[in-house]
Amino acid sequence: MEIDVTNEKKKAIDFIVNSSSLSELIKTETELLGRNGLINSLLKQLKNIIPEKRKTVGININALKQEVITLINQKKQLLSQKIDDKNIDVTMPGTSIKTGTLHPITIAITEISSIFSKLGFIRMSYPEVEWEYLAFDTLNMPKTHPARDDFETTFVNGEPHPTYGKMILTPHTSSGQIREMWRLKKPPIRMINIGKCYRPNWDATHTPMFHQFEGLCVDTDINITHLKGALDYFAKEYFGENTQTRLRPHHFQFTEPSFEVDISCTMCQGTGILRQSRDSGTSQDDLKVKCKICKSGWLELGGTGMVHPNVLISGGIDPIKYSGWAFGFGIERVIMMKYGVDDIRNYYSGDMRFLSQF
Ligand code: PHE
């Protein structure tokens, strides 16, 4: 008897090529290499071949076997790479794509704008490079005021304006009050101005560039209760519903009366005590741990007050007919208070371990 190995090889290759899915290929593999498969049946027939030819045919069958094994393995690899509805594994976990996160300052700006928009405040943005006149003079700050000294304010090289004086980097967002009064010309005004501020300080709670949000409300019959109400609303919305606010007398040139606003500490809920151990036998008083964030239960939010009549006049608004309130708070500061961040420089470190937590 004769065995046509070349013809058998053609058949085997056809089988492999025509297997178009992994399951089909596995069936082909059994048909070719299985116990009752093509190769084994060829080997079994060897004994019927005349002895002189048996050796060569045997060698050819074994070579065919090796070739079939190689081809099947190659095809297996090819099919498992190919994704079609026949070999897709729907239970396999997906490849996760690393997404970026918004910067905490951006998140806070969005939150703050949205809280004040519910009170009817519009979001404004005023120049980062400002005239001295708008940042100081119109805000009732005399020429001799210490904040105007170049130790506190960054002056920009350039031609001074004949009326508005030198160019500076905004040391606070309060010049936005005047710009908004100039823009609208007439109350009602409800504005939130968010911008970058510059002061030459660098430590755990100050960076030379930081952000402020400035609120301004001017209308007929506006008084301190409206201010307190708006601050309470903001504090509860931003820091949590149990947050309390208090006003402490202070001084600003552009408000009268002026206050500093405190909120009850977000870490110890205004108690001044952070943690009490319950499972020790000693007296409770001994176990009280002073809150490291606030020390006395209150955290300082920033400055506020009733807009000074001279400021309304600078803005072209009649202080007899209208009154208003304003505040200016630091954004980095409110985030620190909300999350208990202890070093402001983290915001600008570019350290993803810090930034991606927000
Ligand atoms: N401009 C003040 C500051 O930067 C904050 C402030 C704004 C105070 C508005 C009162 C009213 O500290």
CA-to-CA distance for 12 and 4, rounded, in angstroms? Answer: 13
Please determine, for residue 281, whether its predicted confidence score (pLDDT) is greater than 70: no
Tell me whether residue 194 is in a domain.
yes
Q: In this structure, what DSSP letter does residue 94 have?
A: P
Q: Output the pLDDT for position 154.
A: 93
Same domain? 179 vs 82:
no
**Ligand 1 pocket test: which of 134, 136, 168, 174 has the largest number of ligand atoms within 8 Å of its C-beta?**
174
Tell me whether residue 80 is in a domain.
yes
Tell me whether residue 213 is in a domain.
yes
User: Would you call 221 helix, strand, or coil by DSSP?
Assistant: coil
Q: Whose CA is nearest to atom 12 of ligand 1?
A: 303
Strands (E), the chain: 122-124, 129-131, 155-161, 165-169, 189-198, 209-219, 245-252, 255-264, 273-275, 289-290, 298-307, 323-330
Q: Output the pLDDT for position 85.
A: 60
Same domain? 33 vs 115:
no
Same domain? 35 vs 114:
no
For residues 163-184, give the mean pLDDT.
97
* Non-local CB neighbours of 156 within 8 Å, separated by 6+ positions: 129, 166, 167, 168, 169
The ligand 1 atom at the shortest distance from the C-alpha of residue 173 is: 1
Same domain? 69 vs 116:
no
Check residue 23 and give left, alpha or beta (phi > 0: left; psi -120 to 50: alpha): alpha
User: Total structural domains in the chain?
Assistant: 2
* Non-local CB neighbours of 117 within 8 Å, separated by 6+ positions: 123, 192
Q: Output the pLDDT for position 92.
A: 82
120 pLDDT tier (thresholds 50, 70, 90): very high
Tell me whether residue 59 is in a domain.
yes
Same domain? 240 vs 290:
yes
The ligand 1 atom at the shortest distance from the C-alpha of residue 174 is: 1
Q: Which residues sit in the known binding site for Mg(2+)?
A: 256
Tokens linked to 217:
């409300």
For residues 200-218, give the mean pLDDT.
93
Q: Output the pLDDT for position 168.
A: 96
Could you tell me the distance, in angstroms and rounded to a whole number, from the CA of residue 146 to the centre of ligand 1? 15
Same domain? 335 vs 210:
yes
Specify whether the CB–CB gap between 166 and 132 falls below 8 A.
Answer: yes
Q: Output the pLDDT for position 283.
A: 56
Same domain? 183 vs 53:
no
Q: Output the pLDDT for position 116.
A: 98
Higher pLDDT, 233 or 296: 233
Please determine, for residue 284, whether its predicted confidence score (pLDDT) is greater than 80: no
Among residues 188, 193, 191, 229, the alpha carbon closest in space to that of 323 is found at: 188
User: Would you call 223 helix, strand, or coil by DSSP?
Assistant: coil
93 pLDDT tier (thresholds 50, 70, 90): confident
Q: Output the pLDDT for position 299.
A: 92
Please determine, for residue 286, whether its predicted confidence score (pLDDT) is greater than 70: no
Q: Whose CA is nearest to atom 5 of ligand 1?
A: 328
Range of weakest confidence among 213-222, 282-291, 332-341 = 282-291
236 pLDDT tier (thresholds 50, 70, 90): very high
Among residues 238, 56, 212, 185, the alpha carbon closest in space to that of 124 is found at: 212
Q: Whose CA is nearest to atom 7 of ligand 1?
A: 328
Same domain? 23 vs 117:
no
Same domain? 113 vs 57:
no
Tell me whether residue 138 is in a domain.
no
Same domain? 117 vs 230:
yes
The gap between the terminal CA atoms of the chain, to the nearest Å, is 80
Tell me whether residue 77 is in a domain.
yes
Mean of the per-residue pLDDT values of the chain: 91
Q: Output the pLDDT for position 210.
A: 96
Specify whether the CB–CB gap between 124 and 192 falls below 8 A.
Answer: yes
Specify whether the CB–CB gap between 316 and 185 falls below 8 A.
Answer: yes
Q: Output the pLDDT for position 278.
A: 57
Same domain? 55 vs 112:
no
Element (H, E) at 173: none
Q: What are the backbone angles phi and psi of residue 30, rounded to the nearest 5°?
A: -65, -40
* % residues pLDDT > 90 (the chain): 64
Please determine, for residue 102, whether its predicted confidence score (pLDDT) is greater than 80: yes
Range of weakest confidence among 94-108, 238-252, 321-335 = 94-108
Domain of 240 in residue numbering reads as 104-123+175-355
CA-to-CA distance for 128 and 109, rounded, in angstroms? Answer: 16
Among residues 339, 118, 115, the alpha carbon closest in space to that of 237 is found at: 115
- In CATH, what number is assigned to the domain containing residue 118? 3.30.930.10
Specify whether the CB–CB gap between 103 and 355 falls below 8 A.
Answer: yes
Q: Is this model's pTM higher than 0.75 or not?
A: no
CA distances (Å), origin 77, targets 88, 134, 193, 346:
14, 72, 61, 49
Same domain? 249 vs 114:
yes
Bridge pairing between strands 155-161 and 245-252:
unpaired
Residues with C-beta less than 6 Å from any ligand 1 atom: 172, 174, 214, 252, 255, 302-305, 326-328
Highest average pLDDT, of 73-87, 105-119, 272-286, comes from 105-119
| Exposed / middle / buried, residue 119 (Cβ in 10 Å: 0-12, 13-18, 19+) | middle
For residues 203-214, give the mean pLDDT.
93
Q: Output the pLDDT for position 176.
A: 98
Could you tell me the distance, in angstroms and rounded to a whole number, from the CA of residue 251 to the centre of ligand 1? 10
CA-to-CA distance for 261 and 264, rounded, in angstroms? Answer: 10
